[in-house]
């Protein structure tokens, strides 16, 4: 991760947030929890305490704008993000006539050609031909700020990416290709360690969940097929969806008690209070049994990743680091659950990109209820 660049981006966001008097900081679960999250954001995003508070306020405002304006604008709504260029909450619209509605809400409007719905449709089209993608292509995702679909490929893979886009029928105006030598990999590891095991593997516990009288935890789908037995805690994989998606859950069979807590790896915990989805550009922190508590920025949603084990769709792309054994671990913005770790590239020494499976689709797919405080 380019820390100076990240710092400039976040500082711009915070400067705008400070000037926006309508922004109010979300309530923290406790002073101790907020202090620990502030420390992690200070470390990973290079922020001051004041900047962290302003970032929280901007993220809360962005979530509210997304909920309110998507309902008001209907088909003219193109998505919401924290704009890196201005630091303001930006609402994309596909009709110039919708601009006054956005501006009256206090947000910045951006008129776009495609918007979030169309970009997601393009991703679906690419997903439909994923099995015909060249090995040079590593994935694709939406970039709301640029109003494009980005196809990632190894060096020299641009032509293959453009051919895939044409095959999928994606409007060429919506396509951007980026090349990188980074190879995405899953973050499971064959080692002896905590926090839970299956066979000779280790993954990280996600969020506590309930389904009827059963209790358990959400995790990544690649962390065990359905029916796989787990140890520490004792359980069985009750549902697994991988590849395609990377979602799963473990039903506890031992005497363990579920809680709404997430380990910060500093002796404290975060109490999960809900699963409101953060917008693109928000900060996000993750917990994992290998690298502990790490933070970054949500770069994009609806990322498709072509792992060696299979293609996974619908992931969220972040700048937070992770390593082998962190798979399945929880992601939060404030106290709101965001997802569970899937995989990525890089590490926590040099930085990298990490993807998570969003939590709400996981809960819905398996009919689970998130355990909250």
Which residues are known catalytic residues?
222, 246, 327
CA dist., res. 157 & res. 352, Å (int): 20
Measured from the Cβ of residue 93, the count of other Cβ atoms closer than 10 Å reads 21
Report which of 251, 228, 282, 246 is spatially closest to residue 63, judged by C-alpha positions: 282
The SS3 of residue 267 is coil
Residue 181's H or E segment, with its range, is none
CA dist., res. 68 & res. 105, Å (int): 9
Q: Which residues pair with 283 in a beta bridge?
A: 297
Report which of 174, 166, 168, 16 is spatially closest to residue 94, judged by C-alpha positions: 174
The burial of 311, by beta-carbon neighbours within 10 Å (0-12 exposed, 13-18 middle, 19 or more buried), is given as middle
Scored b (16 or more CB within 10 A) or e, 204-242 reads bbbbbbebeeebbbbbbbbbbeeebebeebebbbbbbbb
| Cis-peptide, bond into residue 171, ω within 30° of zero | no
How crowded is the C-beta side of 182, counted as CA atoms within 13 Å? 20
How many separate helices (H) and strands (E) can be counted in the chain? Answer: 7, 23
Phi then psi dihedrals of residue 125, to 5 deg: -65, -40
């Amino acid at each position: 991760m380019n820390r100076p660049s990240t710092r400039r981006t976040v500082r711009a966001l915070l400067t705008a947030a400070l000037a926006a008097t309508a922004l109010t900081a979300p309530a923290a679960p406790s002073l101790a929890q907020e202090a620990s999250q502030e420390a992690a954001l200070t470390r990973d995003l290079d922020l001051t305490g004041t900047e962290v508070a302003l970032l929280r306020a901007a993220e809360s405002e962005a979530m509210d704008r997304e909920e309110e304006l998507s309902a008001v604008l209907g088909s003219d709504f193109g998505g919401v993000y924290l704009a890196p260029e201005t630091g303001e909450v930006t609402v994309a619209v596909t009709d110039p006539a919708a601009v006054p509605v956005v501006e009256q809400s206090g947000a910045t409007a951006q008129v776009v050609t495609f918007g979030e719905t169309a970009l997601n449709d393009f991703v679906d089209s690419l997903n439909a031909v994923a099995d015909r993608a060249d090995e040079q292509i590593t994935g694709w995702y939406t970039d709301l700020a640029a109003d494009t679909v980005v196809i990632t490929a190894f060096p020299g893979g641009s032509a293959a990416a453009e051919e895939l886009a044409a095959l999928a029928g994606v409007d060429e105006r919506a396509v951007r290709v980026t090349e990188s030598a980074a190879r995405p990999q899953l973050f499971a590891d064959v080692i002896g360690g905590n926090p839970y095991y299956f066979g000779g593997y280790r993954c990280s516990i996600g969020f506590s969940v309930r389904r009827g009288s059963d209790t358990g935890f959400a995790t990544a789908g690649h962390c065990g097929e359905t029916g796989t037995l787990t140890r520490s805690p004792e359980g069985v994989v009750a549902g697994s969806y991988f590849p395609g998606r990377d979602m799963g859950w473990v039903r506890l069979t031992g005497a363990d008690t579920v809680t709404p807590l997430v380990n910060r790896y500093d002796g404290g915990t975060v109490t999960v209070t809900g699963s409101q989805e953060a917008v693109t550009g928000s900060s996000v922190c993750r917990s994992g049994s290998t690298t502990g508590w790490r933070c970054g920025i949500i770069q994009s949603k609806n990322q498709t990743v072509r792992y060696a084990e299979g293609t996974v769709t619908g992931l969220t792309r972040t700048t937070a680091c992770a390593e082998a054994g962190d798979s399945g671990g929880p992601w939060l913005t404030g106290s709101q659950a965001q997802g569970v770790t899937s995989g990525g590239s890089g590490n926590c020494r040099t930085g990298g990109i990490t993807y998570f499976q969003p939590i709400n689709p996981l809960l819905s797919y398996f009919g689970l209820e998130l355990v909250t405080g």
